[in-house]
Structure 1
Amino acid sequence: MITTGAVARLSRSLALAGLIAATALTTASGAESAPQTESIPASVPLPGPPPAAVPAPEQAPGSDAPVPRTVSAWLPYWDQEGAYQDALRHADQLHTVSPFWYEAVSAGRIDAHPGAGERGIIDGLHRAGTKVVPTVMETMRSGALAAILTSPARRAEHTDALMRTVATRDYDGLDLDYETIAATGDATYAAVRDGFTALVTDLCRRLHTQGKQCVVTVFPKTATTGRIWDYAALGRVADRVRIMGYNLHWSGGDPGPLADTHWYEDILARTTALVPPAKLEMGLPAYGWNWPSDSTSTAATRHVTWKEAEELRLEQGAPYRFDEVSGTPYFTYDDGTESREVWYQDARGIAAHLPVLRKHGVVNTALWALDFEDPEIWPVLAGG
Structure 2
Amino acid sequence: MFKIRKKLILVAVLSLLVSNITCVAYASQYLRQGDYGPNVVALQEQLRQLGYLAVPATGFFGPLTAAAVTKLQSDYYLIPDGIVGPLTRNLLERLTQKEGTPDPYRQKRTIMGYYAGKETPLPSSLTSLTNHGTKLTYVAPFRYRLNAGGTGSLDTLEQIPEKELNKLFLAARENKIKVLALVHNMLYGNGIQGRDVAHRILSDPQKRWSLVMNIFYLLRENGFDGVEIDIEDIYPGDSQLFNQFMAELAAQLKPAGYYISVALPAKFSDTPNMSWGDSFDYATIGHYADQVVVMAYDEHGAYSGPGPIASLPWVEKVVQYTVSKIPAQKVLLGIPAYGFDWNCDGSFPRYLSYDLAMEIARWYGISINWDTRAEVPYFRYIDENGSRHEVWFENASSWAGKLDLVAKYNLKGAAIWRLGMEDPDSWRVIGDKFTIEK
In structure 2, what is the equivalent of residue 246 of structure 1? 297
Match of 2:201 among 132, 148, 152: 148
TM-score, normalising length: structure 1: 0.76
Work out the CA distance in 2 between the residues paired with 1:195 and 1:218: 16
Match of 2:279 among 214, 222, 228: 228
Question: Would you say 1:354 and 2:387 are equivalent positions?
Answer: no
Match of 1:199 among 225, 245, 265: 245
Change in 2 beyond 3 A, CA 1:229/1:160: same
1:99-125 Cα offsets, whole Å, 9 max, x none, are: 111111223321111135522321331
Where do residues 112-191 of structure 1 align in structure 2 (5 Å cutoff)?
A: 112-114=156-158, 115-117=160-162, 118-139=165-186, 141=193, 142-181=195-234, 184=235, 189-190=236-237
Change in 2 beyond 3 A, CA 1:116/1:202: farther
Give the counterpart letter for 1:88 in structure 2.
T
Question: Would you say 1:71 and 2:111 are equivalent positions?
Answer: yes
Tell me by how many angstroms 1:221 deviates.
2.1
Give the counterpart letter for 1:234 in structure 2.
I
Tell me by how many angstroms 1:340 deviates.
0.6
In structure 2, what is the equivalent of residue 320 of structure 1? 368
Counterpart contact for 1:175–1:216, Cα < 8 Å: yes
Work out the CA distance in 1 between the residues paired with 2:105 and 2:397: 30
Change in 2 beyond 3 A, CA 1:236/1:65: farther
> % of aligned pairs identical?
25
SS in 1 for 2:285: helix
Match of 2:154 among 104, 110, 123: 110
Give the counterpart letter for 2:411 in structure 1.
V
Match of 2:378 among 330, 334, 342: 330
Counterpart contact for 1:257–1:343, Cα < 8 Å: yes
Give the counterpart letter for 2:361 in structure 1.
R
Question: Would you say 1:263 and 2:310 are equivalent positions?
Answer: no
Change in 2 beyond 3 A, CA 1:209/1:81: farther
The number of residues matched between the two structures is 312
Give the counterpart letter for 2:367 in structure 1.
P
Change in 2 beyond 3 A, CA 1:158/1:261: same
Work out the CA distance in 1 between the residues paired with 2:373 and 2:106: 36
Give the counterpart letter for 1:128 in structure 2.
N
In structure 2, what is the equivalent of residue 21 of structure 1? none
Work out the CA distance in 2 between the residues paired with 1:78 and 1:199: 32
SS in 2 for 1:322: strand
1:162-189 Cα offsets, whole Å, 9 max, x none, are: 22222331100110111221xx2xxxx3
Pairwise CA RMSD of aligned residues? 2.2
Counterpart contact for 1:73–1:368, Cα < 8 Å: yes
Counterpart contact for 2:152–2:201, Cα < 8 Å: no
TM-score, normalising length: structure 2: 0.67
SS in 1 for 2:227: strand
Work out the CA distance in 2 between the residues paired with 1:180 and 1:76: 19
Give the counterpart letter for 1:230 in structure 2.
D
Tell me by how many angstroms 1:69 deviates.
4.9
Give the counterpart letter for 1:222 in structure 2.
F
SS in 1 for 2:125: helix
Change in 2 beyond 3 A, CA 1:202/1:65: farther
Tell me by how many angstroms 1:90 deviates.
1.6
In structure 2, what is the equivalent of residue 369 of structure 1? 418
1:338-358 Cα offsets, whole Å, 9 max, x none, are: 011110100111112233332
Counterpart contact for 1:101–1:116, Cα < 8 Å: no
Counterpart contact for 2:294–2:322, Cα < 8 Å: no
Which deviates the most, 311-320 or 161-170? 161-170
Give the counterpart letter for 1:228 in structure 2.
S
Work out the CA distance in 2 between the residues paired with 1:111 and 1:289: 29
Change in 2 beyond 3 A, CA 1:298/1:85: closer
Structure 1 residue runs of 5 or longer lacking an equivalent are: 1-63
1:259-303 Cα offsets, whole Å, 9 max, x none, are: 01221121111110111111111110111011013xxx2433110
SS in 1 for 2:211: helix
In structure 2, what is the equivalent of residue 343 of structure 1? 392
Larger Rg: 2
Work out the CA distance in 1 between the residues paired with 2:182 and 2:174: 20
Tell me by how many angstroms 1:363 deviates.
4.3
Query: Going by fraction, where is helix more abundant, 1 or 2?
Result: 2
Give the counterpart letter for 1:326 in structure 2.
A
Change in 2 beyond 3 A, CA 1:356/1:124: closer
